[in-house]
Each structure stands twice: as C-alpha cells, then as structure tokens.
Chain A
Amino acid sequence: MSVTELNDQTASARAPTVDAEEARRARKRRIEKTARWVLPLFVMVLMIWLWDRIVVWNDIPHFILPSPARVWNSLTGDWAILWDSALLTGRITLLALAIAVIGGAGLAILFNQNKMVELSLYPYAVILQVTPVVAIAPLIFIYVESKTVGMLLCAWIVAFFPVLSSTTLGLNSVDHNLRDLFRIYGATRWQRLWMLQLPSALPYFLGGLKIAGGLSLIGAVVAELVAGTGGVGTGLAFRIQEAGYRLNIARMFAALAIVAAMGVFIFAALSLLSHLLLRKWHESAIKRET
C-alpha cells in the first residue's frame, strides 16, 4: 500500500469503490455474507423437496412416512395442543437448567473453598454423571411422589456436571502472578474469590452452561418418556410417544420439530449471553480481522 493510499483511507471509507481491486474485494464480502444465510436455507428446501418426492413417487402411506405438507398441517392444526406441551417441557428444561447452574456453580465454589468437602463428594458427582439418566429415571419415579420434582431431578442430574467441572477448572485457572499480587495486598479469602477467581472462571462457566442447556432439554425429554402421563400435564416427549401409539406419524414429526427448535433457541440464547458478558475482554469473544 502506497503512502498516498494510506492517507486516502479515511476518505475512501466515506466514498467507497475506488479501484477494481477494492470493488472485487467488496463483492466477495457481500457474496460470503449472503451465502451464510442462503446456503443452509437452500439445503433445507432441497431436503424437504426430496422428502416430498420420495413419499409421492413411492406411494408411501402417511402412517409410515407422512409428506412434509402433512407434517405442516399437523403443526398448524394441532398447534394448541403442541404449544401447551412445549410450554410444559420448556418449563421443566429451564427450571432444571437454573437448578443445575446454582447447584453446579455452588458445588464448584464449595469444592474450591474446602478441600475436605471436595475430597469426600467429588467421586459421587462423577458417579452421578456417568450413570445414564435413562437407567436412574425409573428408580427416581418410584421414590419421588411428584412427577414434576422427579422430572426436574432427572434433568438436573444430566445438566449439572458440565457446569460443575468447567467452573472448577475456571476457579483453578487464575493467573499465578495475580494470585501473588492479591496476597501481597493482603486480600481476604472472600475478596480473592469475588474479585479474582469468579471473574477468571466466568468464560469456563459459560462454556459449561452452553453444554448444560442442551443436556437439560435431553434430561427433560428422557424424564417425560419414563414418567409417562400420570398426574402431570403432557409434555412434548409424551406427545411424541402418544402420537406413535396412534400411528399419527405426522404429529410425531411436528412435535420433534418443536423440540429441535427449542434446543436451537436455548443454544442461541446462551451464546448471546456469553457474548454479551465476554465481548469486552475475553479472547474468545473478540472479532478478528481476517
């Protein structure tokens, strides 16, 4: 880049398109920006079209594989039922996630502050995590009277561990010099935790939270499948099962689509939260010029 060009840079930002090279680069940027949205959409449309064609060409009966149009009709036609179910599943998922965050982060802080507690409890946290929730769930529903509490417990068991382990890692990843500095200035244990360890652990915690968000939805769905319908209103997973018994495959797909959408929504919301909290200072949230 020549000197005059450097001087002109601020001017050209206001009045773009100076030479062919710049125009070409701008065009490339625009294409890439559009492709990011258009390509996945195109793939989706293509898949739905293929699905439709396969059903029509092969004369597949709708109780085996419904056409996309039927699924759409089920989605709109049964919207009232599905929406109520989605609210229930969503409520369990979010509640479980909230308890997982409090429990996971709380345990991490407790373990970090007290070695004895960590030594005695950590193995059981791991055991709880590695035992498949599908295997524990039936037992839980024997002993826990309330279905809601049982479902929360299932979802919590799957979701709390990522928060616990990543927050623990974060609390222990404090810069050693900063730790020394706090010691020199006579910081109390509480000051060290609040001003040094918790901010250091924040990016790790948010990473664990993103995983926990997806897992709590899985936990809620599994719990519903195991719990059945007795007592509580019916969630999305139960709707899927119920529609299966009735060979209403279109509604199974419709409910599945809603579950998937909920998962995407949770992930997007947590990613946004993470971005907002870290964008000012953490490497992971900083946009780099490529």
Chain B
Amino acid sequence: MAKIAPFAERQDLMRVDTVDKVFPGDVQALRAMSLAVREGDFISLLGPSGCGKSTALRLIAGLSAPTNGRIEWAKTREKGDLGVVFQEPTLMPWATVAQNVFLPFRLEGNSYASVRDDILQVLKLVGLDKFQNAYPRELSGGMKMRVSIARAMVTQPKLILMDEPFAALDEITRFKLNNDLLEMQARIGCTVIFVTHSVFESVFLSDRIVVMAARPGRVIKEVHVDAPYPRDEAFRTSAEYAAHCRAASQALELAMEPAA
C-alpha cells in the first residue's frame, strides 16, 4: 500500500489551471482558480457559502466542464482512480451495505466473489464489518456516512473528493469520523480534497488549506499546516492547533472583507 511521501517530495497528481466557471445567466461561480494537487496531499477547500468550492469539486470530478482553463491529470485517469463522498450518504436504499460498497466494482464488471475480500476489508476499516447485510435505513447518520466513505475507498483510488461530508452530523460523531478519516487516508495513501466551511475541521484534517472567497468564487490564500501526522485528540487540544486555527481564521476574514 502506498506510503505518503514527505510534504516537500510529493509527485504531481493533477492540476487545475486558471479555470473559470460561468453558469447560465452570467453567474461567475469560479474565477481563475489554479491548484496543483500532489500525491498524498490532504487539501481542504475552505470558504463561505457561494465561494465555488463545491463547483470546483464537480469540475475536478468531471461532472461539469470548465468555461475557460484546463484540468489535467499527470497520468491518464483510470476508472477506479477517483472516489467521491457527497454531503448526503447517497446510498442505494434497496441494497445492503455490502452491495452498496460493491457498486464501483460492479460497474467495472467485476463479480462480487472476486472482490469480496476488498469489500470486507474496507468495511472493517470503517468499523462496519458486522453490518454488511444491513440496509441503509437501519443505520444511523454517522454509520451511513461511513458506508459512503467505504464505497469511495474500496477501489483504492488515487484521489477522493469529499463535499462537506460531515456537515449534517453532530459534533461528537464528526470528531470521531475526522480521526478515523485520517487513519484511513494514511492506510490507503490517497490524496483527499475536502470541502468544508469549518476552520477547525480543515486545520485538524489537512496539510494544505485553500481559502476561497465568494462573488466571484476565487482562491485568495493557501495556508500550510505543518503539524505532523498522525494527528489525534492531543493535537486537537494543543496550542499548536489553536495557532493554526487562528491563522486560518485570519485568512478567512480576508475572504469575507469585500462582501462585508
């Protein structure tokens, strides 16, 4: 399994190159966004609502095309290279937990028997191996989100996109999932782009915070969080964490100024 390289030595994974996105009716959702994503990065897109962070994620996922500019992958992107976690768990209610996690493989044409071990392993990773035959409605909100994360990770993708996945969860569940997410990322060694509007969440999770401003959506600053992984509860209560949060908040204030 891929080990994450030190911060300074990472290989390029993909690049967002001066991308504009204009929606019908001349709504500029994104202006001249550039972002170099490297293998093993944990990048948070942090900003107020309307700053185009979800739009950026949809562009990277290939769900919509940029109006101007380019999005390029360093190597050719293959089917299982990308995993996505939406704001809602987005599970198929008619399928069991295991069948939901099986979906990416199933769409590639694999049989269940041939990937059964991968599915059980990733379910164990998210702590739901005992629930493989449960239906989504039988699970709590946090557990559903874990299934959604398991589905995104099961193909061992190079890049996982997460669009405010924990916004609807209570704080206790969110802290737990934050901890677990970091552990899983370290295990799989993937890159994560994580959209959030929580300063605290972004500092805890990421090594790069891309601060964005609204109207038009644009990148205004990048903050580097150089605290080493693994991070745990001790980090969450440290002075170092507080200092990083302050830096990120100040950058965010910069983003809010023109609008206020």
Contact = CB atoms under 8 A, between A and B. Distances in A.
A286 to B, nearest CB: 7
B106 interface: yes
B82 interface: yes
B230 interface: no
A185 B62 CA distance: 11
Given A177-B86, A181-B90, A281-B94, A195 B135 contact: no
* A182, A183, A184, A187: residue with the most chain B Cβ atoms closer than 10 Å: A184
Contacts of A181: 84, 86, 90, 103
B123 to A, nearest CB: 18
Interface residues of A, number: 21
| A interface: dominant SS | helix
Interface string B92-134: 1111000000011011100000000000000000000000000
Given A280-B135, A281-B137, A185 B90 contact: no
A196 to B, nearest CB: 7
B61 A184 contact: yes
Contact of A282 (B84, B93, B106): B93
A195 B105 CA distance: 13
Nearest to B86: A177
Interface string B11-50: 0000000000000000000000000000000000000000
B94 A199 contact: yes
A178 interface: yes
Given A177-B86, A281-B136, A281-B137, A185 B104 contact: yes
B93 A182 contact: no
A94 interface: no
B176 interface: no
Contacts of B86: 177, 180-181
Contact of A184 (B84, B93, B108, B137): B84
A185 B107 contact: yes
A187 B107 contact: yes
Nearest to A282: B93
A196 B92 contact: yes
Given A195-B106, A280-B135, A281-B136, A184 B82 contact: yes
CB-based closest 10 A-B pairs: A177-B90, A185-B107, A199-B94, A281-B93, A177-B86, A281-B94, A187-B107, A281-B135, A185-B104, A186-B79
Interface of A: 175, 177-178, 180-187, 191, 195-196, 199, 202, 280-283, 286
5 contacts: A177-B86, A180-B84, A281-B135, A281-B136, A281-B137
